[in-house]
Structure 1
Amino acid sequence: MVTQLPLDGAPLVKNGPTGVTTRLARDDEAETLCQIERSAAQAFRLIEAFSWLSVGDVQSAETHRRLTAAGTNWVAADDGDRPLGFLSAEIVGSDLHICEVSVGHLHQGFGLGRRLIEHAIEYAAARGLEAVTLTTFRTIPWNCPFYERLGFRILEDGELSPRLLELMDREDADGLSRDTRCAMRLDVGA
């Protein structure tokens, strides 16, 4: 339970979802996952420089279906088995690369993103992969600083693999400036 104070100073008790499980996404949930990502992006509305992300494109339903078929698209589902958040990833060489982590706006702040990331790390370790990688915003608290608390480290330009360098360049061309972004890595292999 998280207690917050609204503007009028009266306590507001915010309860999180109960009975949350992590499981593989299903094909028929692809559109729902797109809606979750749109909802999650509303958090960017509060940051002027990134507010455009709140109305930007999301990962396609086709991509969700492809990653679900590959076994690397997971959801955090409530006790009614409804997805509240998701993590989509893909195996690239000896790494599991996180493509997207999104938790619906109303369900943020209850550890669902952490739970999904921990699941991805366990998945990578169980398959003998070397690392989990991702790209994210450097200064947004629920991005880079959050991943650092989970053990990820920022990769300097000289440490970027050709794949991550190409991804960072592609993101830059899509409007996600290299000045605000970074690639991160968590070693999981022996």
Structure 2
Amino acid sequence: MKVAVISTSPRKNSNSLKVANYIKDVLAEQGAKEVEVFSFEEVDIPMLGRASLNKANLTPFQKELYTTWNEADLIIFTLPEYNWTLSGELVNTMHQLGSKDFAHLFDGKVFAMVGVSAGRGGRTPCLDMITLTNKLISFLNQYSIVSPKIFESHDTGINLDQDGRSTGNPVYEKGVKDFVDYTLKVAWKWHGEPCLA
């Protein structure tokens, strides 16, 4: 099973990327072999209403996002909290992908959400992304599932170092481990095969 951990912050060396890298390590500890981290640092999705994504003429960033997403069986988004909601870049990306040309990106997948905050936030972007993802799956008449368990990465800059390694908070470490374990079990049940094979 292929896993993509997509950091959706456009900032360089963001907390969302640190969380994505930490989740990748926890997935590896639990036996996941094919895990790829993808970052929105170079995001160049055109603004909806001004231009549309052209599947036959994707930029390097767009092509890598498309390939990573398309090949994954499980997609975990790490979501920065900007003014208590999702980043504009991610919302725009989801709207651009919510078309017939890209509908297959919402088929046969398990999606999971991690909210990232420098303080005590993170829940709202997860809930907003769950709503948006479910709506696109339904609207595009595809068959995927959004895992109900979310993780809120609180005090991220305190709990993870610059490289996305834990600074030793046992509560934080257990929270991530429990989220990863639950998410893998959902993916296993959805795909009908051992999720770590």
Q: Which has the higher contact order (CA 8 A, sep 6+)?
A: 2
TM-score of the two chains, using structure 2 as the length reference: 0.32
Whichever of the two has the greater Rg, that structure is 1
TM-score of the two chains, using structure 1 as the length reference: 0.32
Which structure shows the higher strand fraction?
1
